[in-house]
Amino acid sequence: MPPKARISKEMIIEEAFQIARTEGADKITARSISQRLKCSTQPVLYYFTTVEEIKAAVYRKADEYHTGWLMNLEHDCENPMLGIGMNYIRFAVEEKNLFHLLFQSGEFSGAGLMDLVQLEELAPVLQVLQQEAELTEVEAKEVFSTLFVFVHGYASMFANNEMVYDEKLLETLLTKVFYGAIYATKEVKDEEDL
């Protein structure tokens, strides 16, 4: 029986993920991973033929990590959508490198805003929005698009600058955008029904 491999594919992905978190995804190389694992580059190149394959695996891991971050709401959260929006901004503040990897790396080049709303990963967020605001699926997507533009804008400003993070101010602004988007969506629908 051959000896058990000391370095696993999961270990390589985890170390590459930690490099992306602390230094940025552009610092992921076979050598940087092998140095952290205290091994040669051979195990890294055994599991992955290119660094791009490693970065794709790290992107998937970062996306899962981000989803968990977003959906980690306090049990007594009065407004789950506000909680999700604030978590998105906090992620940009606290995980700048992962935010850059996920949302500023050109991954969505050529996509439209409504293409992003169709992503499978957003289904749990859209369901929360539908329930919370008593919206149809189409209305929830419209409201989400409006919220996303504002939340992503705030998050991008924090991820790319050393700005002062004022949580109370952000909660106030996002609450206004949230209720304004719901009101506007329902108002337009009511006018169309006339």
**Mean pLDDT confidence for 34-45:** 94
**Mean pLDDT confidence for 89-98:** 96
> What are 2-37's pLDDT values in tens digits?
545 589 999 999 999 999 999 999 999 999 999 999
CB 124 within 8 A of CB 174: no
Under the banding of pLDDT at 50, 70 and 90, the label for residue 194 is very low
CB atoms within 10 A of CB 135: 20
Burial state string for 79-107 with b = 16 or more CB within 10 A and e = fewer than 16:
bbbbbbbbbbbbbbeebbbbbbbbbeeee
Q: Which helix (H) or strand (E) holds 139?
A: helix 137-160
The domain limits of the chain are 1-64, 72-194
Which listed CATH number (1.10.3470, 1.10.10, 3.30.70, 1.20.120) goes with 1-64? 1.10.10
Q: Write the single-letter amino acid at 104.
A: Q
Q: Write the single-letter amino acid at 117.
A: V
pTM of the model: 0.85
* Closest by CA position to 152, among listed 160, 164, 141, 140: 160
